[in-house]
Amino acid sequence: MSAEEETVHYEGPAGGWGSLRGIARIFGREWNSPAVTRTLMRQNKPGGFMCVSCAWTKPANYHAFEFCENGAKATLWELTTLRCTPEFFEKHTLSELRTWKDYDLEQQGRLTHPLRYDAQSDKYVPCEWDEAFAAIGAELRHLDPKSVIFYASGRASLETAYLYALFGRLYGHNNLPDSSNMCHETTSVALKKIIGASVGTCIYEDFQNCDAIFFFGQNPGTNSPRLLHPLQDAAKRGVKIVTFNPVRERGLETFVNPQDLEEMITGDATRISCQYHQVKAGGDIAALLGICKYVLAAEEKLWRESNRHVLDLNFIEAHTHGFGEFANKLRALTWEEIEAESGLPRTALEEAAQVYIDSERVIGIYGMGLTQHVHGAENIAMLVNLLLMKGNIGRDGAGVSPIRGHSNVQGQRTVGISEKPELVPLDKLGKMFGFKPPREKGMNTVETCEGLRAGKVKAFIGLGGNFVRAIPERDEMEAAWTKMRLTVQIATKLNRSHIVHGEVAYLLPCLGRSEEDIQASGPQVVTIEDSLSCIHGSRSTYKPASEHLKSEVAIVAGLAKTTLPPNPKVKWDEWVDDYAKIRDLIEETYPEEFRDFNARMFTPGGFYRGNSARERIWKTESGKADFTTPSMISASGIGNAPGRYRLITMRSNDQFNTTIYGNSDRLRGIEGSRDVLLINPDEMRNAGLQSGQIVSLVSDAEDGVHREVGGLAVTPFALPAGCLGAYYPETNALIPLWYHDQASKTPAAKDVPVRIRV
């Protein structure tokens, strides 16, 4: 049997009929209603509503259906007809609900009423909004603001995010962690340090003008399917897409555009990647060092032989810092070291390097495969090193392009949600609202968990998200969570973070972005920022799930009003009545980025907020773009040991983070269960395991802590030697809290040290 036949895999292309069947299987009838169809047709178009799924850009030249399989799933999940009412909570205690699976909790549908935890019955009971706001305000007034966390998941609008951050600072802290602390914080820290801009430098046109794309650790087929459109166009133009990923992801292999009738009928799939390198998890620093080493050798050879250059020496001279040291490192490294750590042969890396040498304009794309590592920042720095060698930043058709996760996660940071006070215009806020903003650094996600452990965190407000499910070290954290005095969750659907709770607990149901939001001045618009730094207005006319829901803006304002003393410059009611006034505040705070905000928010394709690195203005310490010489060759935080594997925690095609839509991971051929352990067939045999055998994973982090996740079915899958795959969030109990990127504290979820226990 060939290795291919032996493993679980999927033969069809990404997209195609499978994607339509994928939607129909989950939503059946629901997806046929005229109101739902109308809403989907307006998704991601100017004047319509912006998808709640991923952050990929919404181009001006949109398709008839500018939504994808997973965007449609996310919208339909929000527009479901199922309701999670007070009657449901009357029937179930929270102790009982804690034994439920994530899927079954969310499957109850949309939350309809504000709820208060009643300790006597161990149930959530309905309450009035005013009662909830008053009680929460009273609790917050009694607590030390420094002991309170205001978490945000990256979905809430710019308007909500701005007010939420303002509320936090008026209250007296910078404790504003965000889902991005588990995601692209590595990007924000690394890019800021080396190119002086914390976000990607590419715009949409770059994808139309590039000659090659180097693609690291991002899975567009599942996580940003609309990115497959420009990738397909690029591949058809002959752009060379060179991919590095331990998993052979279908979306990076072949794609049939479900929007293209002819392709759908003929089944003509486009090949996406021209080279696919199954790098070992944590092996990207080594792989990139190998590529850079070959490029440098090619430069030295060409110069010797014909006095010409491979590198852009003018750019390196005028715009960068640290090249000499980096070049010395490349010369000193041996190919043996590079091959051992990357898991790739020298010839494969040379082949990739040759594409880089031959291409005039190159884009580097990446996702969680680079950011979620102990040396994630060095992963990103190495990709930037490669790009800098030929001046591929700040030029048309070139640049670095991190693919963001949540639909407005980048924007929330832009408008002030940050635990890092130095990134926020505090003086300006102080003047605008007549107060002294707190200067002390706030807690990020990992620090919040450390604070919980130490008993320093007394209250947690969650603006969306599912914190206890998303974080590492789950078992210890869930226990610590219940020691808090107050937990408040603002949410659309029931999840684990609502039923693990503090002494006083409230669950506040909000409108989703796909629903109509009417306030005193009429229907409201909200705005978001996408992965390419374009700002879009979003408006929906869909009838809300319940008449008792409030908008996130109204909930944040409601909480702030009962918590803070009156301040004539802070006009919560006026802002809730008309969100255009909040946009005016955003413009006043960030005049360069948000000029004429209200007038420009429906610009087709969004309006671009600009990027200094794209203009080759380097706001770094050296005043230039920095070459980084990594002191390590592996992104892994812990050495190799016999029996130790690197566990990759993965997303399936049927989930959005902790929201599980179903048990199909179609594009990987895994059906029916998420409780699987993916392993290379040779490795499986070497470990004496059999396909289908049920095993446990135990932590091998050498810190004496027992962490275990059991009930996993061994599944042969084409992974590099030494790597395992299993799903997030089920396996989060295996990630030590201390195991995170050194620069940004992003948990290292893509290389978790484990052993298999039979």
Ligand X SMILES: Nc1nc2c(c(=O)[nH]1)N[C@H]1C(S)=C(S)[C@@H](COP(=O)(O)OP(=O)(O)OC[C@H]3O[C@@H](n4cnc5c(=O)[nH]c(N)nc54)[C@H](O)[C@@H]3O)O[C@H]1N2
**Which residues contact ligand X by CB under 6 A?**
53-54, 70, 106, 153, 155, 179, 182-183, 216-219, 222-224, 244-247, 249, 279, 281-282, 284, 367-369, 372, 403, 405-406, 463-467, 470, 490-493, 495, 510, 512-513, 552, 648-651, 655-659, 728-729, 732, 735, 749-750
Closest approach of Mo ion to the CB of residue 185, in Å: 10
Handedness of CA 468, 530, 228, 382 (dihedral sign): negative
CB 135 within 8 A of CB 162: no
Smaller CB separation from Mo ion, 385 or 652: 652
CB of 480 to Mo ion, least distance (A): 23
Q: Which H/E stretch holds residue 36?
A: helix 34-41
Q: Does 370 bind Mo ion (CB under 5 A)?
A: no
Cβ closer to ligand X: 299 or 339? Answer: 339
Give the integer Cα–Cα distance in Å for 253 and 35: 35
Compute the distance between CA of residue 477 and CA of residue 496 in angstroms, rounded to an integer. 12
Select from ligand X, Mo ion, none the partner in contact with residue 368, using the beta carbon and a kind-dependent cut-off of 5 to 8 Å: ligand X
- Which residues pair with residue 740 across a beta bridge? 747
Tokens of 558: 């409601």
491 binds, among ligand X, Mo ion, none (CB under 5 to 8 A by kind): ligand X
709, containing H or E segment: strand 708-716
333: closest CA among 379, 297, 376, 301?
297
CA distance 22 to 671: 12
Beta strands of 195-281 (E only): which ranges?
212-216, 240-244, 254-256, 270-271, 275-277
- Mask of contacts with Mo ion, 600-639, x by CB under 5 A? ----------------------------------------
Stretch that binds Mo ion, among 145-153, 180-188, 455-463, 729-737 (CB under 5 A): 180-188
- Find the part of the chain contacting Mo ion (CB under 5 A) among 95-103, 177-185, 646-654, 659-667: 177-185
Least separation, in Å, of the C-beta of 731 and ligand X?
Answer: 6
Residues in binding contact with Mo ion, number by CB under 5 A: 2
Give me the helices (H) in 98-128, please: 102-106
Q: In angstroms, what is the minimal distance from the CB of 151 to ligand X?
A: 7
Q: Least distance to ligand X from the beta carbon of 673, Å?
A: 18
3-state secondary structure of 539: coil
- Nearest residue (CB) to ligand X, 320 versus 412: 412
Q: Between 281 and 296, whose beta carbon lies closer to ligand X?
A: 281
Minimum CB–partner distance for residue 153 and ligand X (Å): 3
Min CB(449)–Mo ion separation in Å:
17
Residue 749 binding: pick among Mo ion, ligand X, none (C-beta 5-8 Å cut-off by kind): ligand X
Q: Using the minimum distance from each CB to ligand X, give the nearer residue, 430 or 711.
A: 711
Dig out the tokens for 584 from the structure: 């005016």
User: Shortest distance, CB of residue 182 to Mo ion, whole angstroms?
Assistant: 6
Candidate ranges 33-41, 400-408, 524-532, 730-738; the one touching Mo ion (CB under 5 A)? 400-408
CA atoms within 13 A on the CB side of 735: 34
Q: How far is the CB of 287 from ligand X (least distance, A)?
A: 8
Specify the stretch interacting with Mo ion by CB under 5 A; choose among 398-406, 566-574, 705-713, 725-733: 398-406
Q: From the CB of 723, what's the least distance to ligand X, in Å? A: 8
Nearer to ligand X, 184 or 319 (CB): 184
> Which of the listed partners (Mo ion, ligand X, none) does 294 bind, with a CB threshold of 5 to 8 Å by partner kind?
none
Smallest gap from Cβ 493 to ligand X, in A, equals 4
DSSP letter at 316? H
Which of the choices ligand X, Mo ion, none does residue 490 contact, using the CB cut-off of 5 to 8 A by kind? Answer: ligand X
Q: Which is nearer to ligand X, 299 or 517 (CB)?
A: 517
Which CB, 278 or 371, lies closer to Mo ion?
371
Q: In the numeric block, which tokens belong to residue 221?
A: 């087929």
- Which of 211, 515 has the CB closer to ligand X? 515
Query: CB of residue 569 vs ligand X: minimum separation in angstroms?
Result: 27
Report how far apart, in Å, the C-alpha atoms of 85 and of each of 90, 493, 546, 549 are. 9, 11, 10, 12
Residue nearest to Mo ion (CB): 405
Question: How many CA atoms lie within 13 Å of 690's alpha carbon, on the beta-carbon side?
Answer: 2
Q: At closest approach, how far in Å is the CB of 242 from ligand X?
A: 11
Part in contact with Mo ion (CB under 5 A); list of ranges 402-410, 430-438, 445-453, 749-757: 402-410
Residue 329 interacts, among Mo ion, ligand X, none and using kind-specific CB cut-offs from 5 to 8 Å, with: none
- Going by their DSSP bridges, the two strands 676-679 and 723-727 should be labelled as antiparallel
Alpha carbon distance 372, 445 (integer Å): 14
Q: What is the DSSP letter of 510?
A: B
Query: Which of the listed partners (ligand X, Mo ion, none) does 648 bind, with a CB threshold of 5 to 8 Å by partner kind?
Result: ligand X
Tokens of 536: 């879009």
Choices 31-39, 90-98, 403-411, 741-749; region in contact with Mo ion by CB under 5 A: 403-411
Torsions phi, psi for 256 (to 5 deg)? -115, 125
- Residue 275's CB is within 10 A of a number of other CB atoms, namely 16
Sequence-separated (6 or more) residues with CB below 8 Å from residue 686 = none
The distance of closest approach from Cβ of residue 277 to ligand X in the complex, given in angstroms and rounded to an integer, is 9
- Our CB check for ligand X shows the closer of 470 and 586 to be 470
177 vs 405 by CB, closer to Mo ion: 405
Amino acid residing at 626: D
How far apart CA 106 and CA 660 sit, in angstroms, is 8
Q: Which residues 6+ apart lie within 8 Å of 306 measured at CB?
A: none
| Given 405, 451, 558, 630, the residue binding Mo ion (CB under 5 A) | 405
Q: Which residue has the tokens 């069809």?
A: 12
Nearer to ligand X, 385 or 655 (CB): 655
- In the complex with ligand X, the residue whose CB is nearer, 45 or 666, is 666
DSSP code of 131? H
Indicate the residue among 270 and 746 with the shorter CB distance to Mo ion. 746
Q: State how far the alpha carbon of 60 is from the alpha carbons of 18, 64, 363, 396, in Å.
A: 27, 12, 21, 18
Asked whether the beta carbons of 712 and 698 are under 8 A apart, the reply is no
Strands 115-118 and 123-126 turn out to be: antiparallel
> 440 burial class (0-12, 13-18, 19+ CB within 10 angstroms)?
exposed
> How is residue 83 written in tokens?
């309701």
Based on the shown chain and the rule CB under 5 A, indicate whether residue 183 belongs to the binding site for Mo ion. yes
Q: Can residue 471 be called a binding residue for Mo ion (CB under 5 A)?
A: no
Residues that bind Mo ion (CB under 5 A): 183, 405
